[in-house]
Structure 1
Amino acid sequence: MQIHFEQVMVAFDGRVALEPMTLTLSEKRIGVIGLNGSGKSTFARLINGLIKPTSGHVTLDGLDTVKDAKAVLSRTGFIFQNPANQIILPLIGDDIAMGPKARGLKGAALEAAIAPVVERLGIAHLLNRRPHELSGGELQLAALAAVLVTKPELVIFDEPTNQLDLRNELKVVRTIRALEEHALVISHDLEFVAEFDRVLVFDQARLVFDGDAGEATAFYRNLVT
Structure 2
Amino acid sequence: MPPHTDPSSADHGIRLESVVLERGAQRVFDGLSLELRDARIGVIGDNGAGKSSLFRLISGLEQPGEGRVRVHGCDTVADRRQLSQHVGLMFQNPDDQIIFPTVAEELAFSLTARGESRGEARRQARDFLARRGLAAWAERAIGELSQGQRQQVCLLALLISRPATLLLDEPFASLDLLSQARLSAQLAASDQQVLVSTHVLDHVHDFERVLWLAQGRVQADGPGREVCEAYAQDVRRRAEMDLPHA
What TM-score does the superposition give when structure 1 sets the normalisation length? Answer: 0.93
Instruction: State the match for 2:72 in structure 1.
Output: 61
What is the CA–CA distance in structure 1 between the aligned matches of 2:127 and 2:209, rounded to whole Å?
A: 29
Displacement of 1:36 after TM fit? 0.7
- CA distance in 2 between counterparts of 1:214 and 1:184 reads 16
- 1:222 CA displacement: 2.2
1:145 to 147, 153, 156: 156
- TM-superposed CA distance for 1:5, in Å, is 0.8
What is the Cα deviation at residue 166 of structure 1? 1.1
Aligned partners of 2:112, 2:71: CA distance in 1, in Å? 26
Q: In the alignment, is the contact (CA less than 8 A) between 1:6 and 1:22 conserved in 2?
A: yes
Cα 1:120/1:159, change in 2 over 3 Å: farther
Kindly indicate whether the alpha-carbon contact (under 8 Å) linking 1:78 and 1:157 is maintained by their aligned counterparts in 2. yes
- Give the C-alpha shift of residue 25 in structure 1: 1.1
1:13 to 6, 11, 24: 24
Runs of 4+ in 1 over 6 A off after TM superposition: none
- Residue equivalent to 1:168: 179
Tell me if structure 1 keeps the 8 A contact 2:129–2:137.
no
Deviations 1:1-47 (A, max 9, x none): 31111101211112111232112111111100011111111011111
- Count of residue pairs brought into register by the alignment: 224
2:111 pairs with 1:105:
no
In structure 2, the residue matched to 1:48 is 59
Distance 1:121 1:28 in 2: 23
Choose 11-20 or 32-41, whichever is displaced more: 11-20
Deviation at 1:190, TM superposition (A): 0.8
Unmatched 5+ stretches in structure 1: none
- State the distance in 2 between where 1:117 and 1:179 align: 14
1:183 and 2:194 aligned: yes
Match of 1:136 in 2: 147
Cα RMSD for the two superposed structures: 1.6
2:82 to 50, 56, 71: 71
Letter aligned with residue 201 of structure 2: L
| 2-structure distance, mates of 1:120, 1:189 | 30
The residue number in structure 2 matching 1:23 is: 34
What residue is the counterpart of 2:226 in the other structure?
215
Deviation string, structure 1 residues 163-205 (Cα, Å, up to 9, x no partner): 1111111111111121121111001111110111110001122
The share of aligned pairs that are identical, in percent, is 34
Which of 110, 129, 154 is matched with 2:165 structurally? 154
- Aligned position for 1:203: 214
Are the aligned partners of 2:167 and 2:194 in contact in 1 as well (CA < 8 Å)? yes
AA aligned to 1:46 is: L
Which protein is bigger by CA-based radius of gyration?
Answer: 2
Asked if the contact 1:137–1:171 (Cα under 8 Å) also holds between the matched residues in 2, the reply is no
CA distance in 2, matches of 1:202, 1:122: 38
